[in-house]
A and B are shown apart, each in its own frame.
Chain A
C-alpha cells in the first residue's frame, strides 16, 4: 500500500533552534489550522492537498514547537469548557421547545 505521511512534520527552512518553523499537519484543514493560528496568536493558505502548513515565528529564540504544544493544550481545554457550558445550558436553562415536522 501507499506510505502514509507523518501526522506532523517540520518543513525545510526551520531555524535549528526551532525559533521559527513551518509545520505540515497531514489530513487536516482550516478547521484545526485556523483555530491553532488563533490560539498561537492569541496566515494560512488554501491547499488542495489534505494537509495544512502552519508557520510559527518566535521572539527571543523561544521554541515554536513548545508554543505549538501549549496552543494544543489550550485548545483542548477550550473544547472542554465549551462543552460543559453547552451541556449546562441544555440541562438547566429554559428555552423554547417547538414541534418541527419532517
Chain B
C-alpha cells in the first residue's frame, strides 16, 4: 500500500514517534504555544470537543470502543497527551476503590500453611461487593471502628476428614477454596446486599490444603481501599496502553516481489498482505496488530523500503477487570476519581487565593508558606 492511502491526518509527521533499530525519536509532543511561529496551540475546549466523533482528525478527542468481553475491554483514546492517558491508566490501577479482606482473626489454624501466609492469600481474593455500598474506614471518629457501613464480615471454617470407604475420594475438605468463604451479614447489610450478596468473584481459588485432623477457623473483615495502598484493592489484573503502530512503505523503493513473503514474515501475523503477484499491502487494520518488533530493520535488503512509526496521541487501551466492576465501567470510574482530585485541589487553590489577597506569600512568616522546605531540594 502507498502511504498516501492512509488518512491524511496520520501522515502528519508531528504526530509520529520514530521507531529505529536501536532507539526511538520524537517522543515528545511539540504542540505548545510559542513552539511554532504563527500557530496557536493553547488549550481550546471547543476545538478539543469539536469533531470528536469524526475519524482521524488531528488534535481532537476521539474515543472508540473496539472489543468487549465480560472480563476485558479494548478501546482507543485519540487526541490527548500521554500525561492524560497515563493519569487514567494509573487511576484505574491504583485509585479506583474496591473491597478486600484486610483484618483476619484466626481462631484456629492447624494446617501446614502459616497464619500470616494464609491471611495474605485470603486478602488477595477478589470480592464481588459493589464498592459504592461501603464507606472508607477513617483514621478517627465513628468510621474508625468496624460497623455495618464500612465492614463486611466473612467466616472461613473447614475441617478435613477421611472420606467414607467407597465414596470414590480419599478426603473431605482437603482443599479450602475461595468458595468456602461465608458472608455473615451485619446490621442493615442483609437488606442492602439482598440482590447481590458479597462473595468471591472466582470460587475456585485454592486457599489452603488440609489433611485429616487439620482445621481452619477464621473471621475475616473486608474493608474498602485503593490499589496504591495494597494491590489487593486494585480492580484490575492489568490496565495498559500502547501507541498505534504505523508502517509507512516507501513508494520510491518498493519491496522486491520475490522477497514479499520474507518481508511479511518480519511483522506479526496478519499485518502484511501479499497477493498472488507478490505485491505487498498493509492497511490500518493490519498495522494495529503489529508488535513493532523491528525485525524488518535487521535485513539489509529492506533498507529504505519501510519506516516504522507510532502515533503519539493514539492510545490503544487494554483493561482487564478482576473484581466487582464490569470492564466497561472502569474508565468512567477513573474519570470520576480524576474529577474529584481536580475538585479538591481547586478548592485548596481557591482558599489559597483568598488567603494570598491578605497576606504576602513567599515571606517565611506568611500563611501557607512552609519555612522548612528549601527550594530545589526535590
Contact = CB atoms under 8 A, between A and B. Distances in A.
Given A1-B140, A22-B375, A77-B45, A72 B345 contact: yes
Interface string B315-359: 000000000000010011001001101111111111111001000
Given A9-B352, A12-B371, A97 B69 contact: yes
Nearest to A88: B53
Contact of B72 (A30, A34, A86, A100): A100
Contacts of B43: 39, 42, 74
A10 B339 contact: no
B306 to A, nearest CB: 29
A21 B345 contact: no
Interface string B73-106: 0010100110110111011001100000000000
Contact of B361 (A10, A31, A76, A89): A10
Contacts of A100: 69-72
Contacts of A31: 86-87, 90-91, 94-95, 338, 341
Contact of A24 (B88, B331, B342, B370): B370
Interface size class of A (residues with CB under 8 A): 35 or more
Contacts of B338: 31-32, 35, 75, 79
B346 A73 contact: yes
Contacts of B373: 11-12, 24
Interface in A63-100: 65-66, 68-69, 72-83, 85-90, 93, 95-100
Nearest to B68: A97
20 contacts: A8-B349, A12-B373, A14-B369, A16-B361, A18-B361, A18-B362, A24-B370, A24-B373, A29-B90, A42-B41, A65-B353, A78-B80, A78-B84, A79-B335, A82-B61, A82-B88, A83-B332, A86-B332, A95-B65, A97-B67
A37 B28 CA distance: 14
Interface residues of B, number: 74
A74 B45 contact: yes
Contacts of B371: 12
Contact of A18 (B63, B228, B345, B356): B356
B378 A45 contact: yes
Contacts of B299: none
Contacts of A89: 63-65, 75
A81 B370 contact: no
B363 interface: yes
Nearest to B93: A31
B369 A82 contact: no
A8 B363 CA distance: 17
